[in-house]
Amino acid sequence: MSSTLLLNSDASPVSWLPLSVIDWQEAIKYLVTDKAHVLEWHKDWIVRSERWSTPVPAVMMLREYHKKKTTIRFSKYNVFLRDGYQCQYCDIPVNRRTATLDHVLPISHGGRTVWENCATACGTCNSRKGNNHRIVPRIKPYKPSYFALVERRKRIGWDVGHPVWLNYLE
């Protein structure tokens, strides 16, 4: 309950990957400087100063449109998301704690940490594969498009800071 969902002037999140969430202090700055207007408030949370008090915003919309970035950066989280949190060797589901990043062509054999050389693996498969470059994943690794990754993220669902956020994340 310590954050605010920030929407663009078209009522969609400023960013989907990661979701555009700002801390409550930043939300108050946006409110005071009139850069955004509040759509929803945290009903039971009020901040006070000596001369002023306000409820903390739960959802805010920017007054001016900000162009969205459609580039994706390489990260373990994004590789796991691309692969649907499934081991690419044995096809079992994994979670953030049990998933490992596997280099299809190991670094010791000249492999690089890029989209086309990394796959999600469970700990067992990653250990079994080890330094062997002859074992390959079921689906060849690729660089996904921004929109494909966002769609996959939407299907997984969101950890929301406030229940009202779900109204804006469809």
Instruction: Report the DSSP beta bridge partners of residue 121.
Output: 100
| Residue 20 sits in the same domain as residue 36 | yes
**Whole-number mean pLDDT of the chain?**
92
| Residue 82 sits in the same domain as residue 54 | no
Output the six-digit token pair for 166: 């779900």
**Rounded distance between C-alpha atoms, residue 99 and residue 22, angstroms:** 28
| Residue 95 sits in the same domain as residue 43 | no
Virtual CA dihedral for 28, 33, 37, 40, nearest 10 degrees?
10
Helix, strand and coil content of the chain, in percent to the nearest 5, comes to 25, 25, 45
| Residue 38 sits in the same domain as residue 92 | no
| Residue 66 sits in the same domain as residue 85 | no
pTM above 0.75, yes or no: yes
* Residue 125 lies inside a defined structural domain of this protein: yes
| Residue 45 sits in the same domain as residue 29 | yes
**pLDDT tens string 18-42:** 889 999 999 999 999 999 999 999 9
pLDDT at 94: 96
| Structural domain that includes position 49 | 3-70+157-168
> What DSSP assignment string belongs to 126-158?
HHHHTT-SS---SS---PPPHHHHHHHHHHH--
- Domain total of the chain: 2
pLDDT at 70: 87
> Dmax of the chain from CA atoms?
69
* Residue 20 lies inside a defined structural domain of this protein: yes
| Residue 121 sits in the same domain as residue 87 | yes
Looking at the predicted structure, is the pLDDT value of residue 1 above 70?
Answer: no
Q: Which of 42-56, 94-108, 137-151 has the lowest mean pLDDT?
A: 42-56
